[in-house]
Structure 1
């Protein structure tokens, strides 16, 4: 259903601490969303106020800041202002004495999320850009409720149990919720310092990657590891099963409470436990590192699965929604899907705090108007350049381009011949996954092409997996059991046909993190897949994000051109215009 232009516009703003973002909602539907990194070309845009994202969302909504009905903030600002959070911090500090860095972090959150400070930060940024307008009111919602509302209400399920898990949000780190129609209430809560997000972030840094950036590398590394009983026992000392057999407990002396010589994410007690120093960035990844990643991933999955099993037994509801930053862990989502108790899973693709900008706007819109979102169908919510802008950029740069009569057929032939293609089409995707708007595409039948994409285009580690995009009608042929994974948030066991026909998109553990493409919600990519099937007999493409390591996904034509010329891409397709690398036939 399309929202009426007469309905009020609500914004949601997330300031991070990384990945600041803005969303606009009208009539219970997200009509615009953007992350600041895509505009400033600084990955994660740490420390930036999302003013460019704000201006884009206002323009897309056809309004001005003083025409906005309210701005949603996905934190319980009242709790940070009235002393509730200060009392909570004091209580948990009595249970386990924190170090000075933890006390400083607590004091920092009390300052940051105090209502007066939050209002001052936003008003100062707005006044500098727009002048002295009648600013819209700020309205806050509890952090985990924001994640849960977004995941549950944009799911396809009428009833569901919902798991939200992250580093921390207000007091909570993990909450299990019950969704029945419009009802959403917590049925189990886990609070700091027991955090799955902190646990995984600590091992991410121990393994030589950056926390809140490299977790997906640990997940990919785990697929190459094997079960090691000794490592499982050691990791189990950090994250253990709670006495009730349902929850988990994190030992904070390995994470935040102690001396930090290597990282702010783990104490010196962790390398002492493991008997080895942390891996240095750039150091060779050994089999031991892979086995440790396996043990860490297994511990995360076990903790989540215990909670889901309990929730299903408690409620009798077998559909599961997942939100919060930990929901980016595709292997965890897939393990939950494989539980015999589970009927289906919806993991929200905008599950992190950046996506919480959309969640906060949806919550505020519902609170003030009663409007509820429908099932999420597309993430094409960002800016799109009109054709005249694309042509002007190309002509100003004196770049020759072609306009083939049938761009889909021509692109398919190039892909089948081994070309690696940069594909820019329509509105920019929201979130970290490329879904056919800003993608790098390649032939999934060729492992050599996959390795070329990794080495000379993406410029990343060769052990990292790639994902397939496939037509919805093909999914039953390639997977024995799957969900409608439109947003690359799930991985399924690849059938023999997929392994034989598209080995480049089957991971070493025999799974594929798939994007199932529907004609009604992603028509351009769907048509390209159909053309590729006519050309090769395989309705699948290797699909990865259009960026190189360390940079955000491309946004504009200029971004796409810079990345094209700086990498080993063979062909760039800009909304139907072909740019072929000079010297190629």
Structure 2
């Protein structure tokens, strides 16, 4: 059974699942240096992705489109070639507690001149399915809770087991966009004219991740937290109790009104302290309401938790949930946001047919590198990992491109810029060449068996989804990857991995005794990962590019 999952809206992607195995997932932002959050506006992209993998659309058994905005159904205006087409799909949220697998069936998905039938499941269903089906809990046949906190919804808690999934509760009345919205009211991304921000499509989705770094500049002020707590009770919680706790969403305007009211009381406060306190208020609210929900539903045997939705990228909240010990284990996939929605759409169809079965998958299932030949202005030569480690040890960053791209928004060694972490100036250098703010951290990629020596807790974290503190005795040894608050967004990778970045880390460890490197994404500012060495050379802000065994070195001019 071949199932093609399709995400047409932002973070557009095409995924193919065959007999419960992920064959590929092509995120459109990772093609041709496309902008982040790229949509699929033309269905030809689907046919192209299939053709690249030796398939004709007629060889696909089922097409599935991720649902989107709308209470009853969604609508998509796309093209097939030059022909405009309207497709209808499932809504954003399921319509009743047992309705995750209720599908909208349609016809007219036009690929290569032929029309195909398709199914569509609610957008939230894709998050639940992608998180649980990729989890160790699915593989072990264990039930789990699933928390989905997406941009347009309140945090929603589900119970999932192989035979089905059901909605349990909406935890509290704040949509996931609340974090980015805070950044448009306070701090360096503050907007004075917010009329456009009432439209979710015009919200800057990148602000949330930047704020997670920015709050390290501030301190939690309990008087500020109290302001947010009081306004929340007055303006949001009381109304939600009257309306019923199971409401799915509220207008973004309610979030902006909440922050407008807080601004009047916080005019004299430092913005970095305000945003640190916003983060703290939301974290405490999430922990409190999660504990209440689990207690209220204590008859449910599940003690595992999956986390999905855009808020699943907040490593500090993930770590705070883990620290509560409400759950025996927590799983966050590397694509908790909409970058995993095409996979989720395919898994939804799989669940409708077979139940929520485990998916066989690899995080390195994105687009393959495009071939690159000789490039003007660049010298090429074979380069061993030992030679590459020597370049890194001389404090020179390297663009490292190998194999298929990683899934999700974070570079995990397949489309990375790697560098020595031993110089305090390296973080500033990497932020400069990437046109990033100076307060932004640079992540470490570390051999898994050494991580606990350097970080706390230093537990396996292959997808950079939890917060770790750098141990005091290591902070001066690897200053480039230590954030302002002493934390690190750690990626661990086992020595047994066949990925080439492990070989590099091992060679670098032999040379220096240090089992980690700086790791940041290799991309143009505001774009997806480099699709090939040519794109990295065209960018030209790093002098060494290693691509599948070949070193590209910027030629020295004779003039």
TM-score (norm 1): 0.78
Deviation string 1:83-109 (CA, Å, 9 cap, x unpaired) is: xx9xxxxxxxxxxxxxxxxxxxxxxxx
Structure-2 separation of matches of 1:361 and 1:153: 11
Match of 2:544 among 565, 571, 578: 571
Aligned: 1:327 with 2:341: no
* Alignment match, 2:212: 219
* Alignment match, 1:542: 518
Listed as ranges, the matches of 1:166-565 within 5 Å are: 166-168=150-152, 172-189=153-170, 194-207=173-186, 208=189, 211-237=204-230, 239-240=232-233, 242=237, 255-256=252-253, 266-267=256-257, 270-271=259-260, 273-275=262-264, 288-313=270-295, 314=298, 315=300, 317-369=302-354, 372-374=357-359, 378-385=362-369, 389-391=371-373, 394=374, 397=376, 399-404=378-383, 407-455=384-432, 457-521=433-497, 523-563=499-539, 565=540
Shift of residue 547, structure 1, vs aligned partner: 1.7
Q: Residues 527 and 40 from structure 1, CA distance in 2 versus in 1: closer, same or farther, beyond 3 angstroms? A: closer
Q: State the SS of the aligned residue for 2:514.
A: coil
Q: Residues 408 and 229 from structure 1, CA distance in 2 versus in 1: closer, same or farther, beyond 3 angstroms? A: same
Structure-2 separation of matches of 1:66 and 1:306: 50
1:319–1:343: 8 Å Cα contact kept in structure 2? yes
2:451–2:459: 8 Å Cα contact kept in structure 1? no
* Alignment match, 1:41: 33
Q: State the SS of the aligned residue for 1:345.
A: strand
Q: Residues 249 and 49 from structure 1, CA distance in 2 versus in 1: closer, same or farther, beyond 3 angstroms? A: closer
Shift of residue 551, structure 1, vs aligned partner: 2.4
Matched pairs, number: 511
Q: Residues 252 and 164 from structure 1, CA distance in 2 versus in 1: closer, same or farther, beyond 3 angstroms? A: closer
Shift of residue 251, structure 1, vs aligned partner: 11
Q: Which runs of 5+ in 1 are unaligned?
A: 1-7, 86-110, 258-264, 279-285
Q: Residues 336 and 277 from structure 1, CA distance in 2 versus in 1: closer, same or farther, beyond 3 angstroms? A: closer
Structure-2 separation of matches of 1:498 and 1:324: 34
Q: Residues 464 and 76 from structure 1, CA distance in 2 versus in 1: closer, same or farther, beyond 3 angstroms? A: closer
1:239–1:251: 8 Å Cα contact kept in structure 2? no
Q: State the SS of the aligned residue for 2:36.
A: helix
Shift of residue 295, structure 1, vs aligned partner: 1.6
Shift of residue 425, structure 1, vs aligned partner: 0.4
* Alignment match, 1:102: none
* Alignment match, 1:74: 66
Q: State the SS of the aligned residue for 2:534.
A: helix
Q: Which runs of 5+ in 2 are unaligned?
A: 76-85, 92-102, 191-202
1:36–1:50: 8 Å Cα contact kept in structure 2? no
Q: Residues 498 and 153 from structure 1, CA distance in 2 versus in 1: closer, same or farther, beyond 3 angstroms? A: farther
Q: CA RMSD in A?
A: 3.6
Shift of residue 273, structure 1, vs aligned partner: 3.2
Structure-2 separation of matches of 1:237 and 1:349: 35
* Alignment match, 2:99: none
* Alignment match, 2:119: 139
Shift of residue 441, structure 1, vs aligned partner: 0.4
- Structure (1/2) with the larger helix percentage: 1
Q: State the SS of the aligned residue for 1:526.
A: helix
Match of 1:22 among 14, 17, 32: 14
Structure-2 separation of matches of 1:337 and 1:519: 26
Q: State the SS of the aligned residue for 2:24.
A: strand
TM-score (norm 2): 0.82
Deviation string 1:416-470 (CA, Å, 9 cap, x unpaired) is: 1100110110101221100111000011121111211111x21110100111111
